[in-house]
Amino acid sequence: MHKKVMRKKVQLLAAVIVGIALLSASMMPALASDPVYGPGKSIKAVICVEAKGYNPYVPYVPHYNDHFPQGSTVKIYVEAEGYIGPEDINPKTGEYIPKVKFKMTGTRPTGEPFTASASSPSKPINQDSTQYKETYGIISFSIGKNDKIGDYRFRVEATDSNKGGELIGRTPYMHFYVYEDATLYPPINYAYSDLTIKPNPAVVRTTVTVTVNVTNSGGKGNWKGETVYLDVNGMEVKATKTLKLENNENTTVTFRLTKKELGEVPATFNISIGGLNETLMLQEKAPAATPIPGAGTTGVATGDENKVPGFTAVTAIAAFTFVLIYQCRARKRRER
């Protein structure tokens, strides 16, 4: 009996722990870039920084974190499914007209409420013949330059004017944070690749061309320029003007090194740009070309490439003449 009671207590405790874990998970705010759904996925909302309207591939650009700077705009891309009756058909085009309204309601860090709203466009997302049409809206909420820093808690609901303002979806509470040093986009990140030196080896007093590829692999957060520096043996000898690349934009930077930077004495140099390193060999004379066996011939190489042109033909003619003379002398002897 004692063991049964203990087993029941353990089971009850496990159920309580699981229940607390599920409740805690449901209360945790979603990441800013993750879509949030209402019950039964009746409504979908996501915090973003750029909204493209409805596009089946890129309807919005999600925010990469949950912080916004003062003086910026929070955008919420929302989708919902509204009812459309026969009276809501455009008599000219025969198109169903959704009439869904989206409203964002929340509280500031001070406890003061705030609201923002948007209406869906007249064009629904799905074009099938059912009476329920998916539609979208874009809610914009402006953050003042002097607005309070901290946690802004809100949720979004959708109502259908075609059904007397009936509530058709409501999201769980979502959060964004106002922070003075926040950025709307990921911070920029200039990356270097493909450091190339031509010619290499090079002859003294010739110009050497050095190229490198520069890419902004980050975003536009704290957007600033990048100066590209070329070092020779650890000393800066060249620099570009300031580059400004958008996210995922790249360019090729070219430097030219002359005797001014390399001198006029054969030597070995370490060329460095943006953490990339290559070795440049500077020589007194150009390296001798390596002969290619059989080059310039149409047959098998015989090792007689250095013979005088036409020598074989001259030899053949002389031999033929000698044979003729010999035959003539032999004929005269027989005639005697």
Looking at residues 8-31, what average pLDDT do you find? Answer: 42
The confidence score (pLDDT) of residue 6 equals 47
- What's the pLDDT score for residue 116? 96
Distances (CA, A) of 283 to 263, 267, 291: 11, 7, 20
Calpha distance 119→135 (Å, rounded): 10
Mean pLDDT of 138-156: 95
Q: What is the pLDDT of residue 113?
A: 96
pLDDT at position 220 is 76
Pick the CATH number of 190-283 from 2.60.40.10, 2.40.50.180, 1.10.760.10, 2.30.110.10: 2.60.40.10
Examine residue 199 and say whether the peptide bond preceding it is cis (omega within 30 degrees of 0).
yes
Q: What is the pLDDT of residue 228?
A: 95
As a whole number of Å, the end-to-end CA separation of the chain is 151
28-85 pLDDT per residue, tens: 444 456 899 999 999 999 998 888 888 888 888 887 777 899 999 999 999 998 777 7
Mean pLDDT lowest among 58-72, 177-191, 214-228, 316-330? 316-330
Residue 195 pLDDT more than 60? Answer: yes
Q: Where are the beta strands (DSSP E) in 108-223?
A: 113-119, 132-142, 150-160, 166-170, 174-178, 190-198, 202-203, 208-216
Q: Of 38-47, 277-286, 304-313, where does mean pLDDT reach its minimum?
A: 304-313
- Predicted local confidence at residue 55, as pLDDT: 85
Q: What pLDDT score does 235 carry?
A: 93
| pLDDT at 103 exceeding the cut of 50 | yes
> What is d(CA 35, CA 44) in angstroms, rounded to the nearest whole number?
6
As given in the structure block, the two tokens for residue 42 are 């009746």
What's the CATH architecture for 26-178?
Sandwich (2.60)
Average pLDDT over residues 128-144: 85
Q: Once rounded to an integer, what is the mean pLDDT over residues 99-105?
A: 93
Residue 84 neighbours by CB under 8 Å, 6+ apart: 96, 97, 98, 124, 131, 132, 133, 162
Q: Where residue 300 falls among pLDDT bands split at 50, 70, 90?
A: very low
- Is the pLDDT assigned to residue 308 strictly greater than 60? no
Task: Copy the structure tokens of residue 73.
Answer: 């705009």
Which residues sit opposite 291 in a β-bridge? none
Residue range(s) occupied by CATH 2.60.40.2550 in the chain: 26-178
SS3 133: strand
Looking at residue 164, its pLDDT comes to 86
Q: Is the Cβ–Cβ distance between 82 and 70 less than 8 Å? A: no
Looking at residue 36, what is its pLDDT? 93
pLDDT band per the 50, 70, 90 thresholds, residue 230? very high
Max mean pLDDT range (41-45, 63-67, 183-187, 326-330): 41-45
| Partners of 50 in beta bridges | 61
Please, are residues 278 and 211 in contact by the beta-carbon 8 Å criterion?
A: no
How far apart (Å, rounded) are the C-alpha atoms in residues 306 and 183? 74
- CATH 2.60.40.10, the chain: domain bounds: 190-283
pLDDT at residue number 224? 77
Cβ–Cβ under 8 Å, residues 172 and 122: no
| Closest-CA residue to 211 (of 287, 282, 276) | 276
Pick from 266, 258, 282: nearest CA to 208: 258
Question: How far is CA 52 from each of CA 45, 48, 49, 56, rounded to the nearest angstrom?
Answer: 14, 10, 10, 10
Residue 9 has pLDDT above 60, yes or no: no
Contacts of 185 (CB under 8 A, 6+ apart): 49, 64, 219, 220, 221, 247
Task: Report which DSSP code applies to 21.
Answer: H
Instruction: Map residue 116 onto helix, strand or coil.
Output: strand
Residue 222's closest CA among 247, 191, 248, 187?
187
